[in-house]
Each structure stands twice: as C-alpha cells, then as structure tokens.
A and B are shown apart, each in its own frame.
Chain A
Amino acid sequence: MTDVSAASRSSDAPRGKGAEATLTPPHVPVVPVPPVAGGAPVAASASAPPPAPVDPRVAEMAELKRLLLDAERARLDANEARLEANLLTPENLADRLPEAIVLRASQDKQLARALAPTVEAAIGESVRRKPGEFADAIFPVLGPAIRKAIAETMAELVGSINRAMQHSFSARGLSWRIESWRTGVPYAQVVIKHALVYRVEQVFLVHRETGLLLAQAHPPHLQVPDADLVSGMLTAIRDFVGDSFSGEKEVGGLRTFSVGELTVMVEQGPRAVLAAVVRGQAPESYVRRVQETIEGVHAQFASALNEFEGDTSAFESVQPLLEDCLVTVLETDPPAGKKVNTTPYVIAVAAVVVLLIAWMMWQSTRWSRVITQLRATPGIVVTEAQRGWRTHSVRGLRDPDAPQPNAIFVAAGYDSVRVEQQWEPYLSLQPTLVLKRVARRLGAPQPGTPSYVLRGDTLVVVGALDAVWLARVARRVTWPAGVASVDLRAAQPVMPAALASPADSLVSGRVLFPAGTSQLDDAAYAVIRGAARQARKLASALGADGVSATLTLTGRADATGTDSTNASLSRERADRVRRALEAQLREGAKTPAVRYDPKGVGTAEPLPASDSTARARMNRSVSFDVRLTIDAPSGARPQ
C-alpha cells in the first residue's frame, strides 16, 4: 500500500507543481525528485520531456491519473488541516502516550529494544542512589527465587552425598543385609531400593485402534496393576492427549509421562503400541530397545495385528519379545578410583576361619584321643561320650581298682569341672585288674615282695615271702573275682619280720667242742639252753599261724683226723646237741612242735676264720638254723 502510493507519487511529480505542493509536507524538498526507489527514475525519465503528447493512450493515462490524483489530493488537504490543528504538544502526548505504547508493543518489539538502554541506565542510577529502596522493591521477587535456587542446589548436594556414602562404605552390602534382616524385607528389594538405576516393571503391547491388551510382561513376584485396565486407560490418555494437542499427534503422540517414581515410555507403531513402565531413570539406549521391539512385533505379527478382532491368542508368542524388555539395572560397580582393597580383610577372615576349623579339629581329636585312652584302660568301659561346646559328658562302668578317669582327663588337659562323669562300679576280669584286686586284698607280706602271675584262674605267687603271710594265703577260702585257686610252690617262706630277733639269736649261737670228742661241757649246755629258749619262742609263734619250724643242727669237725672219723664225729656232735636241746624243750610247760634235722658235714663245709687255730676251734662245733614250711591247711587242695 505504501509502496504503491510512493510509486504513483514519484511518477506524478513532474506533471504539476501545484499538485506537488499540496501533496508534499512543507519540509520536504520539492525539486528535483530524488531517485529513492528503483522504479522511480525510469518512470521519471519516461515522462519527463513532454514535447507534444499526441498519443491518445498517453492522454488517456494522464486523464486517469488526474482523476485519481484529485481524490487523493482532497484527502491530503484534509490531513494537512488536521495536522495543523493537532500540533504535538506535551499535553497531547501525555493523553496519547499509554495508548501509543500499548499499540506499538503489540505490533513488534521495537519499542522494547528502544527503551531497554534507557531503562537499564535508569535502574543503574536508581540502584546507585537508593540501593535500600531498590532492594525493598525487588525483595518479593528475589526471596522465592533464591530459596528455590538454594533448595535445588541442596537437593543435588544431598543426592551426591547419599551416593558418595553408598559408594564409600565398603561394607555396604553387609549393611543392606542387616537392614533386610531387621526389616524383614527381602534382600533383593533392599538392594533395589538403594542401588536401583532403573527397573522395567511392566511392558504392555496394546492394540492401537481398540486399546485392547495384546500381551503384557512383568517380573515375577512383582505386584502390578490390572493390565487390561491399564492398557485401556493408556489408550484413553493417548487419545485425550492426541485430541488436545492435535498438531503433535502426527509426529508420534504421547511418548512419555511420569507418575510418581514411575515413567511410562510409549512407543507406537502403525498397529500396536508398546508401553514400558520404568522405575528410575532409563537410559537412551533403552528407548531404542523399546523402539526395536515394537518394530519387531510389527514385522513378526503383521497379519495378526491387521486382522485383530479381539482374540489375543495369536499374540501368545510375543511374550519373549516383551520379556526381553524387562530390565533391571543396579549400580553394582563401585566408582572408579575408590575401590577398597579387600585383600587384608579376606586374609583376616580366612585366617580366622582356618584357625577356627583347626581349633575345632584339635578339640575333636583331643576328645577322641582321651576317649580312646579311656576305652583302652583296663577296668573302664565307656558307654557314652558326648562332646559339647563347653562341657562334655561321659558315662560308663569302672572297676574300683581301675585308674581314676578324672586323672586321665586332667592329664589330657581337660578341666575336670567341664567333664561330667558318671561311672557305675563293676568288676573287671581282666588279668591286670584281677591281680590288682588280689594285691589289694592280700596285703603286703613282711618281709618280701610277692609277684603274682595268673594262669587261667590260678594265682601263682612267686618270691621269698613272709611265712606267716604265706600260711594265711594258703588257708584262704574266698578269693577275689577272677581267681579260683592259688599256687604257692614258687613261693619260699621266710622268717616273718616280727620274729627276726629270736631267729637271729638262735642262728648266731654255736655249741663248741674240745678236740676229738662230742662231750658237752658247761659252756655248751649254756648255749643249748639259750637256743632252746629262742626255739620255743619261734615254734610257739609260728605254730599258731600254721607254719612249721625245723631246727637244722649242723655238726662239724676240725681238719685233724681222717674224713670218716670227722664225719662220724661231726654227726655224733649234732645228735648229742639235738638230744640235749630236745630235753631242754621238753622240760617246759608245753613242748613246742619242733622238728629236728641233725646232720654231720665233717670238714666239708668249714666255717671261715682268720687263723688255723681259730678255724679249728670254730669248726669243732654244732651250729643252728631254722627252716620254715607251710602246713598244708586241713581239707585244702594239695599244692
């Protein structure tokens, strides 16, 4: 419009100055017309020299222009009059300014651009001069803005601290275990709660046109809403969104929406829509996966999708495709550079475990060893053995003569308080136990140390032993268990200790004779009387205990004379002493039961002496000895 009027104005310009004057405002130069527009000079040169316009077409054109110009000129005249009447005074401007600003601002941004430097300068000036007032003015805006910024920063900070905490705890998994144990929530869920990056909780394949559910998949054990209804609502939402933003419908419709922590990603194909319900933040790669899946479904089920009339059985085999979309991603990897060196912990734990196992094995071995030792001990029968964590218990049978089990436990290093023992008494027939029992029951002879041997159930007693003790053994009627009879043939009776002094006196006495005779002189009789006293003592003491004493009288001769003379002389001497001794013993109140064994050895067993004279004197003698025999008990077995 403006272009057209400008062109017409410039083409008309040379035709008449009057028209020009009325047209042009006073301040515009009148001649020559500046070549402002491209077309203007051409038009001007074409019509500039009018020599004699005789061309009727030109005349017509001029006429047409005149007609048009007249109308315009009248309008311009009116405008000029109005301009003169409404000179631009401040009052006029003040009246019109708001209106003008609104008008211009609604057209383009020129006004804002023009005002911006001024406004900026004004604000700067205002801040410099009265900062307090300016702060008060913008406070209502600034406060919330700052709070919002701080809140967002803090949320971000807390988030990063949380993640850092999670990562830096090397025992993170352990703490999750404890949490799981404490709250009763399954461990996997605790891990997901803490470390979930994203999890696809449900995938729907929805028929696009009807909104009916073709198939759906979700992880097992996960509670999901009714898929049919969700599918319907999803379609309804898509329809609603599509209707509301109809322009966007052609370029994909509803793609994503969020509900709480869930994001629903919708990928649509020509016939079906795939929707994945994602908890957390799924990466871009997952979006591509969903896209590929919906493409795959269309490729594989094209005819089934086209012919779908409500029967979903054709889509049963789509299930694996959907299940491939069920993804759970956890932040299982610790952040780089923060990897905790776990080797020392592993070694420590392994060492503890090894030590524990070794200790337990050692305990077990020690126990079985001590029990084996107990079982091997004669007189101990273990019927029950239990090893506990701290206290142990043993039951069984024990012969009173068996070793103390407690001593065995203590020797093996057990605290006897920790081992509860229960032993029932019994009699063992094991030889060692039988012999122990025998030794305990028979007591110890004086003098002598008996040796016992068990031959079957016959007890053989060996050794040079107290004759009185032997006599008592021989008379014994009851025997400890395991022994039926006794054999004393290997036992040699010896003088009991109680009778040692009379026996010594008797044996140390010697009846001496003058050379070549067997006559007894006074000194000889004195010796014989002494010997008789001792013999009486012995015989009476021994006889009461069942031991018989035999007095051995050994006659000797000195080296002079023949052997035969000496032999008969020595025998004669022994006989004479025997008769005198017998007479002496018979004189008492009670004649003791003593046997005599006189014999003459001649010079065969000479008594030693320092010189020949003393030797000759000493060997003209009769010396005494006592031999003991055990009387066979009346009615006893012959031994």
Chain B
Amino acid sequence: MIQKKVCMVGVFGTGKTSLVQQYVHTKFTDKYHSTVGVKIDRKVVSVDGTDVTLVLWDLAGRDPQQDVGASYLKGSHGVIYVGDGTRRETVTDLDDLLRVATAAAGPVPSVTAINKIDLTEQWALTPEDYQALVKRGALFRTSAKTGEGVEEMFLQLARFLIVPKAGA
C-alpha cells in the first residue's frame, strides 16, 4: 500500500476542515470549528488502478505572518492550499503561505483550492486574481458545502503524487 502525507494549508476559516470532511466523510456543517493544532484523517483513493492512502493533515488556520507549523509540514508529499473566494485577502495571502510551506516541506506537488464557490453573490475575486493563481499551477474552484470540485481536487493531487513514482 502506498501512503502519502498531504497537508492542508490556508488562512483561518477558508474551509480546510470542511473540505476534508466533505471528501472523507461526505458531510458538511455550517458551524465553524477552529482547528487547534492539527487533525488527521485518511482516505484511500484509486489513481489509474493504484490505491493510494492519503493521510490528510488538516493544519490549524494561521495568519500569513505566523509560522504555518513547519514541524507538521515537514515530510509532506503534497500540499493543498486553500483560499476563501469570498475573502480576497485569504487568496492573496496564499503567496506567503506558499513560501513558508515550501521552506518546510520542499518543492512538493501542490494544488490550490478556492473554496466556497456556492456563495456566488459574495464572490470577491477579480479576473486578474485568477490569472495570478493559474500561473501557480493546478487551480480548483471548490465548495465543501455542495461537494463541487472537491473530489477532483484531491484526485488531481493524488495523481501528482503518483506520477514521479511511476517515472522513477
């Protein structure tokens, strides 16, 4: 069995825990629970016939200025950056988080999830923001509430994690 450690990184309240809950347990709650420290969950995903166990480290949300928890990030095989589409600063802050995470975990594969697309009337991102994000690599617009884009986002990361192995 292949296992991969994946960290969820993002500012407070962007929906990291909700994404994991939606993905692993297919459930969603409107209540906001601030994660303390880290929560760990697990999901087996099949990528082109290979089963991969994603061990999901759901890190507590941080201020971008704060250290994101370098210890937790250490040894990660992949990182998921989560921003909140209704709060523009959470997306722009991802640049800072990216720097910190890369310093701790190295240049590992990552995907970016812009969450809460179900809240369309509060959407705060401009086309320019998208342009900037797309440059960074795989970008997914997700909704932990409806489940839209969630499965695809995790699956894409799992693919990223498997590919180097197959090539090696």
The chain A residues found within 8 Å of chain B, CB to CB, are 207-213, 226, 228-229, 232-233, 236, 239-240, 242-243, 309-313
B3 at the interface (CB under 8 A from A): yes
Residue in chain B with minimal CB distance to A242: B71
Given A226-B42, A236-B38, A312-B1, 5 more contacts at CB 8 Å? A228-B3, A228-B55, A229-B42, A233-B40, A240-B38
- CB pair B2–A211 under 8 Å, yes or no, is no
B62 at the interface (CB under 8 A from A): no
Question: How far is B3's CA from A212's CA once the two chains are assembled, in angstroms?
Answer: 7
Question: How far is B3's CA from A527's CA once the two chains are assembled, in angstroms?
Answer: 146
List CB contacts (< 8 Å) of B76-93 with chain A: 76-77
| Min C-beta distance of B49 to chain A, whole Å | 15
- CB pair A310–B71 under 8 Å, yes or no, is no
| Min C-beta distance of B42 to chain A, whole Å | 5
Which residues of B lie under 8 Å from residue A209 when comparing CB positions? 74-75
The chain B residues found within 8 Å of chain A, CB to CB, are 1-5, 37-38, 40-42, 52-53, 55, 57, 69, 71-72, 74-77, 161, 165
Subset of 13 A-B contacts with CB under 8 Å: A212-B4, A212-B55, A232-B40, A232-B42, A232-B57, A236-B57, A236-B72, A239-B69, A309-B77, A310-B2, A310-B4, A311-B1, A312-B3
Contact of A229 among B37, B41, B69, B77 (CB under 8 A): B41
- CB pair A310–B40 under 8 Å, yes or no, is no
Which residues of A lie under 8 Å from residue B69 when comparing CB positions? 239
| Min C-beta distance of A206 to chain B, whole Å | 11
- CB pair A228–B5 under 8 Å, yes or no, is no
Contact of A240 among B71, B76, B165 (CB under 8 A): B71
Counting chain B CB atoms within 10 Å of each CB, the highest count among A207, A210, A243, A313 belongs to: A210
| Min C-beta distance of A112 to chain B, whole Å | 41
- CB pair A229–B72 under 8 Å, yes or no, is no
Which residues of B lie under 8 Å from residue A240 when comparing CB positions? 37-38, 71
| Min C-beta distance of B52 to chain A, whole Å | 8
Question: How far is B52's CA from A162's CA once the two chains are assembled, in angstroms?
Answer: 51
Contact of A311 among B2, B37, B40 (CB under 8 A): B2
| Min C-beta distance of A270 to chain B, whole Å | 14
Question: How far is B41's CA from A228's CA once the two chains are assembled, in angstroms?
Answer: 8
**Known contacts A212-B5, A312-B1, A312-B2; A232 and B75 CB within 8 A of each other:** no
Contact of A211 among B1, B52, B75 (CB under 8 A): B75
- CB pair B2–A236 under 8 Å, yes or no, is no
**Known contacts A228-B3, A310-B3; A210 and B38 CB within 8 A of each other:** no
Question: How far is B73's CA from A210's CA once the two chains are assembled, in angstroms?
Answer: 9
Question: How far is B49's CA from A612's CA once the two chains are assembled, in angstroms?
Answer: 150
Q: Please provide the 6 A-B residue pairs with the shortest distance between their CB atoms, ordered closest to farther.
A: A232-B40, A209-B75, A239-B71, A210-B75, A210-B5, A212-B3
**Known contacts A210-B75, A312-B3, A313-B1; A232 and B37 CB within 8 A of each other:** no
Question: How far is B71's CA from A208's CA once the two chains are assembled, in angstroms?
Answer: 11
- CB pair A236–B37 under 8 Å, yes or no, is yes
Question: How far is B77's CA from A232's CA once the two chains are assembled, in angstroms?
Answer: 14
**Known contacts A210-B75, A211-B75, A243-B71; A236 and B40 CB within 8 A of each other:** yes
Which residues of B lie under 8 Å from residue A229 when comparing CB positions? 40-42
Which residues of A lie under 8 Å from residue B42 when comparing CB positions? 226, 228-229, 232
Which residues of B lie under 8 Å from residue A207 when comparing CB positions? 75
Which residues of B lie under 8 Å from residue A228 when comparing CB positions? 3, 42, 53, 55
Which residues of A lie under 8 Å from residue B38 when comparing CB positions? 236, 240
| Min C-beta distance of B165 to chain A, whole Å | 6
Question: How far is B5's CA from A310's CA once the two chains are assembled, in angstroms?
Answer: 8
| Min C-beta distance of A268 to chain B, whole Å | 14
Question: How far is B45's CA from A351's CA once the two chains are assembled, in angstroms?
Answer: 68
| Min C-beta distance of A225 to chain B, whole Å | 12
Question: How far is B166's CA from A311's CA once the two chains are assembled, in angstroms?
Answer: 12
Question: How far is B162's CA from A311's CA once the two chains are assembled, in angstroms?
Answer: 11
Which residues of A lie under 8 Å from residue B161 when comparing CB positions? 310
| Min C-beta distance of A210 to chain B, whole Å | 4
| Min C-beta distance of A419 to chain B, whole Å | 73
Counting chain B CB atoms within 10 Å of each CB, the highest count among A239, A240, A243 belongs to: A239
| Min C-beta distance of B75 to chain A, whole Å | 4
Residue in chain B with minimal CB distance to A249: B71
| Min C-beta distance of B109 to chain A, whole Å | 12
| Min C-beta distance of A543 to chain B, whole Å | 124
Residue in chain A with minimal CB distance to B41: A229
| Min C-beta distance of B5 to chain A, whole Å | 4
Which residues of A lie under 8 Å from residue B76 when comparing CB positions? 210
Which residues of B lie under 8 Å from residue A211 when comparing CB positions? 5, 55, 57, 75
Counting chain A CB atoms within 10 Å of each CB, the highest count among B1, B3, B52 belongs to: B3
Residue in chain A with minimal CB distance to B40: A232
Question: How far is B52's CA from A228's CA once the two chains are assembled, in angstroms?
Answer: 13
- CB pair A213–B3 under 8 Å, yes or no, is yes
Question: How far is B76's CA from A207's CA once the two chains are assembled, in angstroms?
Answer: 12
- CB pair B55–A232 under 8 Å, yes or no, is yes
Which residues of B lie under 8 Å from residue A213 when comparing CB positions? 3
- CB pair B77–A310 under 8 Å, yes or no, is yes
| Min C-beta distance of A317 to chain B, whole Å | 15
| Min C-beta distance of A303 to chain B, whole Å | 15
| Min C-beta distance of A308 to chain B, whole Å | 9
| Min C-beta distance of A400 to chain B, whole Å | 88
Counting chain B CB atoms within 10 Å of each CB, the highest count among A212, A226, A240, A310 belongs to: A310
Question: How far is B57's CA from A313's CA once the two chains are assembled, in angstroms?
Answer: 22
Question: How far is B75's CA from A310's CA once the two chains are assembled, in angstroms?
Answer: 10
Residue in chain B with minimal CB distance to A226: B42
| Min C-beta distance of B161 to chain A, whole Å | 7
Question: How far is B53's CA from A312's CA once the two chains are assembled, in angstroms?
Answer: 11
Question: How far is B8's CA from A232's CA once the two chains are assembled, in angstroms?
Answer: 14
- CB pair A239–B77 under 8 Å, yes or no, is no
Which residues of B lie under 8 Å from residue A312 when comparing CB positions? 1-3
Residue in chain A with minimal CB distance to B72: A239
Which residues of A lie under 8 Å from residue B74 when comparing CB positions? 209, 239
Question: How far is B76's CA from A312's CA once the two chains are assembled, in angstroms?
Answer: 16
| Min C-beta distance of B67 to chain A, whole Å | 9
Residue in chain A with minimal CB distance to B70: A243
Residue in chain A with minimal CB distance to B55: A232
Which residues of A lie under 8 Å from residue B55 when comparing CB positions? 211-212, 228, 232
Question: How far is B161's CA from A633's CA once the two chains are assembled, in angstroms?
Answer: 127
| Min C-beta distance of B135 to chain A, whole Å | 28
Question: How far is B74's CA from A236's CA once the two chains are assembled, in angstroms?
Answer: 11
Question: How far is B57's CA from A226's CA once the two chains are assembled, in angstroms?
Answer: 15
- CB pair A210–B77 under 8 Å, yes or no, is yes
Residue in chain A with minimal CB distance to B67: A243
Counting chain A CB atoms within 10 Å of each CB, the highest count among B53, B55, B72, B161 belongs to: B55
Which residues of B lie under 8 Å from residue A226 when comparing CB positions? 42
Which residues of A lie under 8 Å from residue B57 when comparing CB positions? 211, 232, 236
Question: How far is B55's CA from A228's CA once the two chains are assembled, in angstroms?
Answer: 8
Which residues of B lie under 8 Å from residue A313 when comparing CB positions? 1
Which residues of B lie under 8 Å from residue A243 when comparing CB positions? 71
